[in-house]
A and B are shown apart, each in its own frame.
Chain A
Amino acid sequence: QITLKESGPALVKPTQTLTLTCTFSGFSLTTSGVGVGWIRQSPGQALEWLALIYWDDDKRYSPSLRSRLTITKDTSRNQVVLTMTNMDLVDTGTYYCVHEIYSDSCFDSWGPGTRVTVSS
């Protein structure tokens, strides 16, 4: 059974850097075809895909946020970390960690999400 869980600060100040960690189980990020990504949702808004990292360390980013995002993996700890620099009020929302199999190209498992509020 695949599980993912997000962790990180609930509150950050504008201009600060957000660091979120996804800790997962039930699969390995060394297995061919496996990817872990991040998606966010602003209050009452649609879903926005942010970044994805694959088993072979291929990394993909949202073009509109590319300059602010970094995604990395630690396969020994079964973790994926997302950093987002220069946080702004509009970055407030719920951040989800997701599992993808490259060949299926769908997000078949989601973490429960972690709520991040940007406020001074």
Chain B
Amino acid sequence: DIQMTQSPSSLSASVGDRVTITCRASQSINSYLVGSYLNWYQQKPGKAPYLLISATSRLQSGVPSRFSGSGSGTDFTLTISSLRPEDSATYFCQQSYTFPRTFGQGTKVEIK
């Protein structure tokens, strides 16, 4: 199985701050066809996860442009350029390069 490791496990930041979450895969998840099979999800308490970004950097329809993704190979990043109160949530990365699909352990983002 490909292990996905996120850091930090939690963070606290102020409104307007730039926030960066890192996700590392235990092996390369690059594909010559679509780049990297790395997706990011946001989950708020009591709710199902919600797809933010697919294929490393493809922002889903309706997701604010302050969210962005980057990376390749084994190292990936989710960035929130200017944190807003509604961004308080847990964020998960997930690889779709191979089965079994695997998720990172999550990063909890809190607002100071």
Do A and B interact with each other, yes or no?
Answer: yes
- B52 and chain A: residue at smallest CB distance: A106
The reply to whether the CB of A49 lies closer than 8 angstroms to some CB of chain B is yes
The reply to whether the CB of B51 lies closer than 8 angstroms to some CB of chain A is yes
- A100 and chain B: residue at smallest CB distance: B96
Q: Report yes or no: A46 in contact with B54, Cβ–Cβ below 8 A.
A: no
- Given A112-B48, A113-B48, is A107 in contact with B39 using a C-beta cutoff of 8 Å? yes
CB distance from A36 to the nearest CB of B (A): 13
- Given A105-B96, A106-B39, A106-B55, is A96 in contact with B48 using a C-beta cutoff of 8 Å? yes
Task: Tell me, in angstroms, the Cα distance from A52 to B54 when the chains sit together.
Answer: 18
The reply to whether the CB of B92 lies closer than 8 angstroms to some CB of chain A is yes
Which residues of chain A (57-76) have a CB below 8 Å from chain B? 60-64
Which residues of chain B (57-104) have a CB below 8 Å from chain A? 60, 92, 94, 96, 99-104
The reply to whether the CB of B105 lies closer than 8 angstroms to some CB of chain A is yes
Q: B interface vs A, CB < 8 Å?
A: 1, 34, 37, 39, 41, 47-51, 54-55, 60, 92, 94, 96, 99-106
- B101 and chain A: residue at smallest CB distance: A49
Our pick among B1, B37, B49, B55 for the contact of A47 (Cβ within 8 Å) is B49
Q: Report yes or no: B48 in contact with A49, Cβ–Cβ below 8 A.
A: no
Our pick among A63, A64, A108, A109 for the contact of B54 (Cβ within 8 Å) is A108
In the complex, which residues of chain A have a beta carbon less than 8 angstroms from the beta carbon of B34? Answer: 105
- A6 and chain B: residue at smallest CB distance: B48
The reply to whether the CB of A111 lies closer than 8 angstroms to some CB of chain B is yes
In the complex, which residues of chain A have a beta carbon less than 8 angstroms from the beta carbon of B51? Answer: 106-109
- Given A108-B54, A110-B48, A110-B49, is A49 in contact with B103 using a C-beta cutoff of 8 Å? yes
Q: Report yes or no: B54 in contact with A104, Cβ–Cβ below 8 A.
A: yes
CB distance from B22 to the nearest CB of A (A): 16
- A102 and chain B: residue at smallest CB distance: B96
- Given A105-B37, A107-B39, is A60 in contact with B105 using a C-beta cutoff of 8 Å? no
